[in-house]
A and B are shown apart, each in its own frame.
Chain A
Amino acid sequence: GDSVTQMEGPVTLSEEAFLTINCTYTATGYPSLFWYVQYPGEGLQLLLKATKADDKGSNKGFEATYRKETTSFHLEKGSVQVSDSAVYFCALSQATGGFKTIFGAGTRLFVKA
């Protein structure tokens, strides 16, 4: 079945450092891919998405490119801020059937001032 694997955390960075959180997936067909962010005490929010190969999703300085050849959707940000401290979830959803969204286990990010 479909699955999502993301790097284990926690990831600890200093402010203004470069961020990469790796995400790889296994899926039949052509899924849509998502990154969600969860701030402390809140639900998940959509951060960005990509619906087909080579699409780049971007939002709030974060980017991720849908790479079908490597089945990856790595999250990057050039300069993190303390306010980016949160848990990040990679996810996929198929266009037809199944109804489910498959979530990765989440990666906790701490950014130090």
Chain B
Amino acid sequence: DVKVTQSSRYLVKRTGEKVFLECVQDMDHENMFWYRQDPGLGLRLIYFSYDVKMKEKGDIPEGYSVSREKKERFSLILESASTNQTSMYLCASRWTDNQPQHFGDGTRLSIL
């Protein structure tokens, strides 16, 4: 069965820290995505990657960067965490454009 694994379910960090969120998929999918989900705002796309070492900004990339050195792993980096980055972060992957996305269980990140 399809599996997208996010490294942490819950994470608490301090303002100014560099934070890494890891995501691994076992389906050999080309495309991977990072979203944040906030009450009343739905899912907002932060970054996506359509191939190894390839990345594109989504709708809200400010304050974030990503890394995709291997096909199965897509990392989200908060360069200097701020309290407004407290949120639920969801990773997803899919085979190609019009195929459904497969999501991890999410990481609930709190920045204090």
Contacts and interface: CB of A to CB of B under 8 A. Distances in A.
A42 B58 CA distance: 23
Nearest to B35: A103
B90 to A, nearest CB: 5
B24 to A, nearest CB: 14
B103 A45 contact: yes
Chain B interface mostly: strand
B21 to A, nearest CB: 13
A100 B45 contact: yes
B42 A51 contact: no
A72 interface: no
Nearest to A43: B103
A32 B50 contact: no
Interface in A45-94: 45-46, 49, 51, 89, 93-94
Contacts of A42: 105-106
Interface of B: 4, 31, 33, 42-43, 45, 48, 50, 56, 58, 90, 92, 94, 97-106
